[in-house]
Amino acid sequence: MVEAIESDPVFSRENQYFQTQNERYEAAVRKAVHLQKKMHEMGWTENGPEYKYIYRALSGDVAFLLHRVFMRSISVLGSDKQIAKWIPLATQHKIIGSYAQTELGHGTYLQGLETTAVFDTATQEFILNTPKISAMKWWPGDMGRSATHTVVFAQLYIHGKCYGIHPFIVQIRSLQDHSLCPGITAGDIGPKMNFEHIDNGYLLLKNVRIPRENMLSKFCEVRPDGTYVRQGSQQINYFTMTTVRISLISDEVLTPLMKACTIAIRYSVVRRQSKLKPGEQEAKILDYQTQQEKLLPQLAAAYAFYFINDYLQELFNRGYTEIQRKNFDMLPELHALSSGFKAMITQHCTAGVEICLRACGGHGYSLLSGLPSLYTKILASCIYEGENTILLLQTARFLIKCFMAASAGQPVPPSVTYLAAVKHGKCPAKNKLDFLSPDIYTEAYEHVAVRLTSNTAAKLQDLIQSGVKKHDAWNQCTVQLVQAAKAHCHYIAVKNFAETVEKLETKAGIQKIMKHLCDLFALHGIFSNTGAFLHDGYTSAAQMDMVTASYLDLLAVIRKDAVPLVDAFDFTDKSLNSALGSYDGQVYQRLYEWAQRSPTNQSTESPVMFHCVFIGTLAHVMDSGVPDREALLRDVLHEMDPERHFLMVITWPKEAPSQYDSSPPIRDSKEHSNIRSGPAEATQDTQASKTCDNNWSLSMYFASVILTSVFPMRKHL
C-alpha cells in the first residue's frame, strides 16, 4: 500500500521545498482528488487503518482535511435527520465542508466569540452576521478557496436573549460556479510559517439567512415559536475536544519528532567534525558528549510519548464505553489528562525538533534537510486545539480540586490518588546505579508533583484568607500552577514508561534497551530541572551528582544503539523528504543534487549535470525501498555495520564519467595523500565500531524487532 502511494507521481513531494503557496495548495487539491479515486479503486475506507497510514505516507500534505472535521461535527452534534441529509452529500464530495469556529478576536476562549445568529420567527430562519471586524472568522482550514459549506459557531439570539455558542451549517459558495453566496465575503488569510497547502480562510457574514433546520440540534433545538430546548448533556462537548487533542498527538506531534530524530541522528553518524583524539581522523559528531546530550534525550522522549499516547488512547476507549452507558464520571479526568498532555507533548516535541534542527548546524537550516518544515509544522500544534498555557491551567484546576478533595478524605480519580499520600521522606538512593531503578526516580517525580500541587494550593488559600479576591489570587498563582500541571504530566509519563518497559519482559533484549531509554527520559528530566528535586531536600546535592553521573553514562550507552532505534520508526526516504536523513547516508550528494532543482538555478546558466557523477556510480546503494523493509532489515543488514548505510558516504567515483573530465577527482599524487578519504577509511571505522560494541549481534536485529514488538500496529500494513 505504501508503495502504491509513494510510487504514484501525483503524490510526489519531491519539489515541495521549491513551491510557492499557490503551487502547494494546488498540488494538495490534486492529491486529495487523486487519493479519493485511488481509495475507491483499492477499496480502502476512510475509517480503516489505511487512512492513518496514507496520511503518514503523505505527511498530511493533502487538501480538504477540514472536510473530515466538518463531517465529524455533524455526526457528533447533528440530529439523526441532519446526519441523514448532510453526511451522504459530504461523503460523495458533492459539497466540501469546513469548520468556522476561530475568529480574528477570539481563539481558545469560545464563550467570547462574537458572530451572531438571530432567530427570525416570521421566516423561520437564522440571520447570521459578523457584527464587527474582530468577529470575522479567521484561520479555518479549507475555507479561503475550497469549501462550499461550513459549520459556523455563533452566539444564538432568540427574542433578544443570548443563549450562547451554537453550530450552524452555512453554505458559502455556489455549487454551480463556486462563486461566493450573497452576503458572504471570504478569502485566504495569506502566508503562514507552514501549511501552505491549506487555504486557511476568513469569512464575513452579512445578513446571511439559513433555515431553522441548519442549526445542529442533537443537544439543543430551537422550536418554530422560538422556544429553546436543551436535550442531553452539554458535557459531551468536552469529549469531542478530548478526541481531537488525543488524536493529534500521534499524527501531528509525535511523527515530526520521530522524523527529526531520524534525520539528525543519521546525519550525526555521517558528519565528521574536529578530532576527539589527536592524530586520528575526524570524529563522527554523535561521538561527542554534547551532541549526544542534544539528540538522545529527544529520542527517549519520542519513545516515552509514543507509550503515553497508548495510555491516553486506552483511557479514552474506556471513557467512551462509559459514556455510551451514560456515565460521564471519567470526563473530568480525561479532560485534564488530554489537556495537560496535549500541552506538555506539543511543547516538548517542538523544542525537540528545534534541537534536532540546530544540532545539524548549517545544513539543518536548509529546507532540503526537511527539518525546517517539521519545525514550522509542529510549532503550530502548540497553538491550535487550545493554547498550551490555558490547557495547563485547566489541568491545574483539576489538580487543585482533587488535592482539596483528597485532603478532605474524599475519593478522587485514579490518576491523582497519589496526591492524597503526601510523604515527607527522603530519596533513598545511595549510589549512581540506584538512579537506574524506576522505583527511585518515579517516586522522586511523584514527590515533586505532590509538593508543587500542595504548595500552590496552600499559597492560593493563604491569599484568599488574607483578603485577596478569588480570581486575583488564582491569577497570582498561575505561573506556579502551570509548573504543577507540568510536573503531574511528567510524573505520569515517567511512571507509564517504566510500567510499559516492565510489561515488555518477554521480548528478548528489547526490554534492556527500552529500559535505557526510560532511564534516560527520567534522568534527563531531573538533570534539566534539578531545582524542583533539590528544593525541599528530598534529593540531596550528593544524590544530584549521582543523577548527573548516571545520566551522562547513559548517553554513551544509548549512543551505540541510536541508529537502529531511529530506523525502527520505519520512515521511508520519501516520507522523510530529507537530504540529510536518507537511509543510505548520502548526505552531501543529495544536498548537491537537490539544490540543482531550485528554480533559482534554472534562471542562470544551466549548471553541469554534476550529480550524475555521484548518483550514477552510487546506484548500487539501495534506497530503503520499504515494502520489504522488515525483511531487508533482517536479511541484508546483519552482514553490515550498525551504521552500515553510512559507510559509503564520501566515496568518490574511481573513474570519472565523461560529463566531468578525464582526470579522476581523487588525486593519487603524494601531495594530496593526507586529505584523501574513502572506502578504506570507512572499513577501518567499521572494524573499530565492531570491536568496541559488545551488543553487536543484538544491534543487528534490533530495529526489526522493535518494529514488530514496540510498534505492533505497523506490521499489519
Binding-site residue ranges for FAD: 102, 141
Residues 476-495 that bind a copy of itself (CB under 8 A): 476-480, 482
Cell, residue 120: 427570525
* 3-state SS assignment for residue 604: coil
657 scored as a contact of a copy of itself (CB under 8 A): no
By C-beta, is 365 or 711 nearer to a copy of itself?
365
Q: Which stretch binds a copy of itself (CB under 8 A): 5-13, 156-164, 432-440, 701-709?
A: 156-164
> Is residue 471 at the binding interface for a copy of itself, with CB under 8 A as the rule?
yes
Q: Which stretch binds a copy of itself (CB under 8 A): 34-42, 134-142, 239-247, 318-326?
A: 134-142
In this structure, what C-alpha cell is assigned to residue 278? 589527536
Q: Please list every residue from 661 through 690 that binds a copy of itself, using CB under 8 A.
A: 661, 665-667, 669-672, 674-677
Q: Long-range pairs for 632-636 at CB < 8 Å and ≥24 separation? A: 633/567, 633/701, 633/703, 633/704, 633/707, 634/701, 634/704
3-state secondary structure of 75: helix
Site for a copy of itself in 510-549 (CB under 8 A): 529-537, 541, 544, 548
Judge contact between 194 and 25, C-beta under 8 A.
no
Amino acid at 485: A
CA 685 to chain CA centroid, nearest Å = 35
Q: What is the DSSP string of 27-40?
A: HHHHHHHHHHHHHH
Query: Is 467 a binder of a copy of itself (CB under 8 A)?
Result: no
Instruction: Round to whole Å and give the CA distance between 72 and 77.
Output: 8
Alpha-carbon distance 454 to 407, whole Å? 10
Interacting span for a copy of itself (CB under 8 A) from 45-53, 214-222, 487-495, 600-608:
600-608
**Considering only residues 65, 241, 379, 615, which one is a binding residue for a copy of itself as defined by CB under 8 A?**
379
Q: Does 625 bind a copy of itself (CB under 8 A)?
A: no
Q: Minimal distance in Å, beta carbon 150 to a copy of itself? A: 16
Specify the residue, 2 or 299, whose C-beta has the smaller distance to a copy of itself: 299
Distance in angstroms (rounded) separating the CA atoms of residues 590 and 366:
12
Least separation in angstroms between residue 326's CB and a copy of itself is 31
Q: Which of 46, 282, 329, 462 binds a copy of itself (CB under 8 A)?
A: 282
CA 234 to chain centre: 29
Are the CB atoms for 493 and 308 separated by under 8 Å?
Answer: yes
Decide: is 589 part of the binding site for a copy of itself (CB under 8 A): yes
Q: Name the segment binding a copy of itself (CB under 8 A); options: 59-67, 98-106, 406-414, 496-504.
A: 98-106
Nearer to a copy of itself (CB atom), residue 306 or residue 538: 538
Q: Which of 508, 510, 477, 499 has the alpha carbon at shortest distance from 400? A: 477
CB of 233 to a copy of itself, least distance (A): 24
Amino acid 523 reads: L
The correct pick among 393, 492, 562, 566 for binding a copy of itself (CB under 8 A) is 393
Sketch the per residue contact string, 8 through 37, with a copy of itself: x for CB under 8 A, - otherwise: ---------xx-xxx--x------------
Of 91, 123, 185, 317, the one binding a copy of itself by CB under 8 A: 185
Which residue do the cell numbers 499524527 mark? Answer: 251
Residues shown for the chain: 717
DSSP label of 622 = P
Phi, psi angles (nearest 5°) of residue 134:
-70, -10
3-state class of 168 per DSSP?
strand
Scanning residues 410 to 449, which ones bind a copy of itself (CB under 8 A)?
none
Angle between helices 289-324 and 541-567 (to 10 degrees): 80
| Residue 211: exposure state from Cβ atoms within 10 A (0-12, 13-18, ≥19) | exposed
Binds a copy of itself (CB under 8 A): choice among 9, 43, 224, 362 = 362
CB nearer to a copy of itself: pick between 22 and 227: 22
Site for a copy of itself in 247-276 (CB under 8 A): 271-274, 276
Q: Which amino acid is at 388?
A: N
Let me know: does 375 contact 357? Beta carbons within 8 Å.
yes
Among 227, 317, 601, 684, binds a copy of itself (CB under 8 A): 601
Q: Which of 385, 443, 446, 643 is catalytic?
A: 385
Counting beta carbons within 10 angstroms of the beta carbon of residue 529, is it exposed (0 to 12), middle (13 to 18) or buried (19 or more)? middle
CB of 182 to a copy of itself, least distance (A): 12
Nearer to a copy of itself, 90 or 482 (CB): 482
- The count of chain residues that interact with a copy of itself, using the rule CB under 8 A, is 141
The secondary structure element, H or E, covering residue 566 is helix 541-567
Q: Which phi and psi angles does 375 have, rounded to 5°? A: -65, -50
Burial degree of 444 (CB within 10 A; 0-12, 13-18, 19+): buried
Q: What residue spans of 199-329 are helical by DSSP H?
A: 236-248, 255-268, 289-324
Q: How far apart are CA 306 and CA 253, in angstroms?
A: 10
Residue closer to a copy of itself (CB basis): 94 or 132: 132
Task: Please select the residue that binds a copy of itself; options are 51, 588, 696, 701, rule is CB under 8 A.
Answer: 588
CA distance 203 to 130: 9
Exactly one of 6, 50, 114, 125 binds a copy of itself (CB under 8 A); that residue is 114
CB of 304 to a copy of itself, least distance (A): 21
385 is catalytic: yes
Contact status, residue 200 vs residue 27, Cβ threshold 8 Å:
no
Least distance in Å: CB of 686 to a copy of itself?
19
**Residues 218, 230: contact at Cβ < 8 Å?**
no
Among 4, 591, 632, 682, binds a copy of itself (CB under 8 A): 591
Closest approach of a copy of itself to the CB of residue 532, in Å: 7
**Residue numbers belonging to the annotated binding site:** 102, 141
Q: How far is the CB of 365 from a copy of itself (least distance, A)?
A: 6
Please select the residue that binds a copy of itself; options are 600, 658, 662, 691, rule is CB under 8 A. Answer: 600
Of 451 and 495, nearer to a copy of itself (C-beta) is 451
Query: First and final CA of the chain: distance in angstroms?
Result: 7
d(CA 283, CA 272) in angstroms, rounded, equals 5
3-state class (DSSP) for residue 630? helix
User: Cα 477–333–70 angle (5° rounding)?
Assistant: 105
Q: Which residue's CB is nearer to a copy of itself, number 24 or number 212? A: 24
Indicate whether 224 belongs to the interface with a copy of itself (CB under 8 A). Answer: no
What binding mask, one character per residue, do residues 319-358 give for a copy of itself by CB under 8 A, x or -? -----------------------------------x--xx
- Decide whether 306 or 375 has the Cβ nearer to a copy of itself: 375
Interface region with a copy of itself, contact rule CB under 8 A, candidates 75-83, 183-191, 296-304, 704-712: 183-191
Residue 709 touches a copy of itself, criterion: CB under 8 A = no
Smallest gap from residue 325 Cβ to a copy of itself (A): 34
Q: Which stretch binds a copy of itself (CB under 8 A): 93-101, 113-121, 216-224, 417-425?
A: 113-121
Closest by CA to 168, choosing from 106, 233, 212, is 212
Tell me the three cell numbers of residue 84. 441523514
Which residue number, 510 or 647, has a Cβ lying nearer to a copy of itself? 647
Measured from the CB atom, the residue of 44 and 384 that comes closer to a copy of itself is 384
Q: Which residues ranging from 30 to 69 are in contact with a copy of itself (CB under 8 A)?
A: none
Residues with catalytic function: 385
